[in-house]
């Protein structure tokens, strides 16, 4: 899985690079997009998540695992299964028929700048704030 939230544009860039290599060697590449129940694990409206993938990264197929704690929300009953598969299929087709616009160089530069500033702020809180661990333990539910 291409997950590294602290590298500017790393997931998008890695996906684009993989697509280029796959095309170069005539390999059919299927992206694996993790899903979950929370935003931190990739949760969000299925249709929008699929449509937001970079151009050429879906190409008619996509692997989407669903976390066990939320699987019943999409697959517990027959009508839920049908609706979920319908959403995945519709979004996959729409993505391929109307691919998203590739980011312009100035957009990439701005995203990289935002990522650097965000990373610095995140690290200043998590690694330099002496009260962070205490706060985290108080606010994070444990089993």
For the stretch 110-131, pLDDT in tens is: 988 998 899 899 999 999 999 9
Q: What is the spatial distance between Cα 17 and Cα 19, in angstroms, rounded to a whole number?
A: 5
- Which residue would you say has higher pLDDT here, 132 or 73? 132
Asked whether the predicted pLDDT for residue 76 surpasses 60, the reply is yes
Residue 31 pLDDT grade (very low, low, confident, very high; cuts 50, 70, 90):
confident
Listed ranges 16-20, 23-27, 42-46; the one with the highest mean pLDDT: 23-27
- Average pLDDT of the chain is 83
Please say whether the beta carbons of 108 and 6 come within 8 A: no
**The predicted structure's pLDDT at residue 38:** 55
């Amino acid at each position: 899985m291409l997950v590294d939230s602290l590298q500017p544009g790393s997931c998008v860039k890695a996906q684009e690079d993989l697509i280029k290599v796959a095309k170069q060697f005539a390999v059919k590449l299927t992206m694996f997009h993790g899903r979950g129940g929370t935003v931190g694990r990739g949760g969000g409206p299925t249709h929008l998540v699929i449509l937001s993938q970079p151009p050429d990264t879906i190409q008619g197929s996509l692997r989407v695992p669903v976390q066990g704690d939320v699987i019943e929300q999409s697959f517990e009953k027959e009508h839920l299964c049908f609706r979920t598969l319908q959403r995945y299929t519709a979004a996959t087709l729409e993505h391929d028929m109307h691919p998203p616009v590739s980011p312009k160089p100035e957009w990439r530069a701005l995203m990289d700048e935002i990522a650097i500033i965000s990373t610095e702020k995140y690290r200043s809180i998590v690694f330099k704030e002496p009260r962070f661990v205490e706060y985290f333990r108080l606010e994070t539910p444990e089993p």
